[in-house]
Structure 1
Amino acid sequence: MGVLVYGGHQVIEFEDRLLAHLQIVAGLKLRRREGFYLTWREDTNAGSGRVTIWVDPALPLMFRYEEGAALSINREWLESLTLASNSARGLVVTEETAHLTTESAEAF
């Protein structure tokens, strides 16, 4: 389980593979100085609610991975997440299973 450290103090846990995809999407947006919403569902231990944060170029982000090895990136999933980040609703975390293909992976 990796973590996204938001604003220098808020720690948010995500699976390493998802975190790698979120890092790429966030990097694309923030490089263009664009803020966006990031939304995910909490797991049952945290009440099963929905959380949304505003990600802004002025706020520090740190991506910390549990795994040291390079992760493969699913291009279809990455494209879907990127398209969502450009919408009014923002980047909503979705499951990778809807975007799995064998030829879409590259190392990150």
Structure 2
Amino acid sequence: MGQLFYGNNPEPIIIEDRALAHLKVVVATKLRRNESFTLSWRHPADDAPGRTTLWLHPSIPLRFIFEHPEPPELSAQWITRMAQSASTSGGITLLEEDLDGE
């Protein structure tokens, strides 16, 4: 499992490595353009029910840590789906990979 650290919060957000790698591409693209946006996800089954949303801004520190040293092969379709969600008023939604659509 990968970890996403945002701001000065010492508690990581735990995200599966493959999903985190795809999210990193979309987030880095938005931040490189100096765009602020939200990132939302549903809580995993072993956490309390609900969802979380963060406001991401280029001036706030962000760190991605991956469990595996080798990056996974990226899915252009998954990146596109997340990037499309980033362009909505709801911001990026951490979506599940749709293997049937590839």
TM range (shorter): over 0.9
Correspondences of 1:1-108 after superposition (within 5 Å): 1-9=1-9, 10-97=11-98, 100-101=101-102
The alpha carbon displacement at 1:94 in A equals: 1.0
Q: Percent identity?
A: 36
Give the TM-score normalised by structure 1: 0.87
After TM superposition, which residue ranges in structure 1, 4 or more long, deviate above 4 angstroms?
Answer: none
Post-superposition shift, 1:44? 2.5
1:7 partner letter? G
Give the strand-richer structure, 1 or 2. 1
Contact residue 22 and residue 74 of structure 2 kept, 8 A? yes
Q: CA–CA distance in 2 between the matches of 1:48 and 1:55?
A: 23
Question: Contact between 1:7 and 1:61, CA under 8 Å: does it hold in 2?
Answer: yes
Task: Give the aligned length.
Answer: 101
Query: Which 5+ residue runs of structure 2 have no aligned equivalent?
Result: none
Contact in 1 for aligned 2:37/2:55 (Cα 8 Å) = yes
* TM-score when normalising by structure 2: 0.92
Q: Distance in 1 between matches of 2:14 and 2:100?
A: 22
